[in-house]
Amino acid sequence: MKKVDIALVAKTARVSTMTVSRVINRVPTVSAENQRRVLTAIKQLGYRPNPSAQRLASGKAKPTLGLIIPRFEGIFHSYYALQVIKGCGIAAERLQCDLLLHVAGGNTPLLPAVDGLLFADLFGCEELLDRVVDDRLPVVVLNHYLEELPVTCVAIDNRTAAERVVAYLVRLGHRDIATITGDLKVQAGLDRLDGFMKAMRARHLAVRDGYVRFGNFGLPSARAATEALLALKERPTAIFVASDDMALETIHMASAKRIRVPEELSVVGFDDIPSAATAHVPLTTVRQPLSEMARRGTELLFQQVKGKARRPVKLVLPTELVERQSCRQTWLDH
């Protein structure tokens, strides 16, 4: 069984390879007879042109960008991944470049053959990044601000966002504020906690014992954390939860325990997922421009690939606090 290439097709159809190429590329200047012969040969041999060869020969400059999705537990259940994929996908379409999706497993032996790489998050891919930087492959990291490495990154200002949440709650009169964190191995998770602590400290507000509960963005962790928080003798009057998914769960559990939100407990989330707006208790939360982050990252990578970018760019995108109905002033009667 010999390889079927354009030459074989040409021979079978008894024309030149050029004629075959023309038929494939729908160049109109081919006689009906030859066209028929070529088509027949193609069908008969089951011929398929080789994409790499086509691209190489035609010198088509359509670059290929690789999007690395870290395969950590739950990323696929997250609003996050989808927004990133969406942003990258649409940007790639606009920029006329290919987007190669790569779910990074534990071991990522060889990097895919692409012109540039986009990391949906750094977590779990540190090693790969090193290798890639080493190879001088154009790279953009999303959702993780890299202080030291000379790598372009586009992230969200999680710290300031968390600070603003505290400011908001304090303005409503809360002082006993607790937090349920995200996964602290992910920078976004860590920064949200950081911002929270910093803001509390700045206001000389004590963070009581047990008021910081460690979650990992997963619902089970949120349940455990909420359980613990609500069982406290000195229950917080407000909780800042590091993701909407978890925050909704917190509210759910509070309701089940007949603790009314927001009357007896204020809750703030993070993400502004669609159901935050339509939940039973519409959730006050932080909206982050995920899809824009992805778009910007893709564009930046594209620049780099095109050689139009000189030095690494560090972008930090702002967030927005969306007030809904899960928070309340402490001095209101209830």
- Choose one: 49-57, 64-72, 124-132, 172-180; the region binding DNA (CB under 7 A): 49-57
Q: Find the binder of DNA among 16, 78, 160, 330 (CB under 7 A).
A: 16
* Cα gap 267→26, rounded to integer Å: 61
Among 24, 103, 170, 232, binds DNA (CB under 7 A): 24
Distance between CA atoms of residues 293 and 139, nearest Å: 15
Using an 8 Å Cβ cutoff, are 118 and 301 in contact? Answer: yes
Peptide bond before residue 274 is cis, with ω within 30 degrees of 0:
no
150 binds, among a copy of itself, DNA, none (CB under 5 to 8 A by kind): none
Which CB sits closer to a copy of itself, 176 or 183? Answer: 183
Using a 10 angstrom Cβ sphere, with 0-12 exposed, 13-18 middle and 19 or more buried, the burial of residue 258 is exposed
Task: Tell me, by CB under 8 A, how many residues bind a copy of itself.
Answer: 53
- Alpha carbons within 13 angstroms on the beta-carbon side of residue 128 total 28
Residue (of 115, 118, 161, 162) closest to 135 by Cα position: 115
Contacts of DNA in 53-92 (CB under 7 A): 53-54, 56-59
- For position 40 contacting DNA by CB under 7 A, the verdict is no
Among 98, 194, 292, 299, binds a copy of itself (CB under 8 A): 98
Asked if 8 touches a copy of itself (CB under 8 A), the answer is: no
Q: Minimum CB separation from DNA for residue 143, in Å? A: 31
Q: Which is nearer to a copy of itself, 196 or 217 (CB)?
A: 217
Give buried/exposed letters for 271-302 (b at 16+ CB in 10 A, else e): bbbeebeebebebbbbbbbbbebbbbbbbbbb
By CB under 8 A, name the one of 77, 185, 201, 257 that touches a copy of itself: 77
Helix (H) or strand (E) holding 15: none
Q: Is 64 in the site for a copy of itself (CB under 8 A)?
A: yes
89 binds, among DNA, a copy of itself, none (CB under 5 to 8 A by kind): a copy of itself
- φ and ψ at residue 104, rounded to 5 degrees: -75, 110
Q: Minimum CB separation from a copy of itself for residue 287, in Å?
A: 15
* Interstrand relation of 285-287 and 320-322 (parallel, antiparallel or unpaired): antiparallel
List residues binding a copy of itself (CB under 8 A).
Answer: 42-43, 46, 48, 50-56, 64, 67, 69, 71, 76-77, 81-83, 85-86, 88-90, 92-93, 98-103, 105, 112-115, 136-138, 219, 245, 248-249, 252, 255, 274-275, 278-280, 307
